[in-house]
Amino acid sequence: MRHQFAMIGLLVTAVMAVVAWAANRDAGSMGVESEPERSVATAGNSEQVGKAAERNRSVASHLQAAAIPSVRSGFEVPESFLPSGIASATRVVTPDKLMALTEQDKAWLAKHGFPTLTEVEWSRQATLEELRAAAKLSVAMAALYGERLWEQRGYDEGKSALKAALVQGSVYAAEAIALKILAQGARRPDGSNAAAFEAAAWMYYASLLGDYRVASDLSNHFGDASSWDLNNGLLRSFEIAAEIDAARAAIGLPPLRRDVRPSLDVYLESYSHGETTVVPR
């Protein structure tokens, strides 16, 4: 539990940092894209800027081809599907990050492209074509479609689709990218994950957008990450923010703004009491 609180404290520090970063960006100090992924940018390198711009155009093209919506709009799990998810308010010991702790939390999850547990279950048995069709109706389903593409067609197609969902506002997609990268990372001689730095960057970026519950993922999946990985991952997260905002600008959308997930007090209390009540969604 102490480790969890330490992670949350680190995230609070990161969120405070992003306030200053956002102010500088609004004043016009954040106008240059970052270098290729898995590296730390060197300002003023025109070749790197060109490559970043090309990536942004690629994401924009994927958005247009997939016709991914900017809001949850029309997808409903087929009535014939019988989920095992939570249908009514239930007390649980360790709430999944897709579970809502309050009605406000429920609204936040929907707004920021987090699928329900029922949607996740359905996506696991759906065909790729069914997921592609669902992705055109819901940003959350677009993120699940990206996860499936990653599994079936590899890193490039999967990450491109997940970034497209993120550009349209799915914070869940950023967290999915982190876990996919981490799962594929090679092991260093000391046993640590060579992809930890890049994966941590996407987790930190999700925290900069307001999801403090990534502290659980950092605690559970980054236990062997070095301070170098975590520190540079935090720096890389600001580059990611610039990349995503540039991709949004390319399709006429404003920058993503920090919107802190509600009910932090309820979340922390759940660790003190060992269980909490979740709201059906």
Closest CA to 113 of 151, 68, 79: 68
| Residue 177, pLDDT above cutoff 80 | yes
Beta bridge partners of 193: 187
The reported pLDDT for the residue numbered 66 is 43
| Distance (Å, whole) CA 122 – CA 278 | 21
Structure-block tokens of residue 274: 């060992």
Cβ distance 86 to 99 under 8 Å?
Answer: yes
Cβ distance 92 to 276 under 8 Å?
Answer: yes
Q: What average pLDDT is seen over the chain?
A: 78
| Residue 15, pLDDT above cutoff 50 | no
Higher pLDDT, residue 67 or 190: 190
| Distance (Å, whole) CA 80 – CA 28 | 52
Domain boundaries, the chain: 2-278
Q: pLDDT-derived band of residue 179, with 50, 70 and 90 as boundaries?
A: very high
Cβ distance 130 to 144 under 8 Å?
Answer: no
Q: pLDDT-derived band of residue 58, with 50, 70 and 90 as boundaries?
A: low
Beta bridge partners of 276: 92
| Distance (Å, whole) CA 81 – CA 42 | 51
Cβ distance 175 to 109 under 8 Å?
Answer: no
The reported pLDDT for the residue numbered 223 is 79
Q: What is the pLDDT of residues 224-273, one digit of tens each?
A: 788 899 999 999 999 999 999 999 999 999 999 999 999 999 988 887 77
| Residue 2, pLDDT above cutoff 50 | no
The whole model's pTM is what?
0.74
Q: What is the pLDDT of residues 97-131, one digit of tens each?
A: 899 999 999 999 999 999 999 999 999 999 999 99
- List all residues 6 or more positions away from 278 whose beta carbon is below 8 Å from its beta carbon: 86, 89, 90, 91, 92, 95, 99, 100, 101
Q: What is the pLDDT of residues 132-159, one digit of tens each?
A: 999 999 999 999 999 999 999 999 999 9
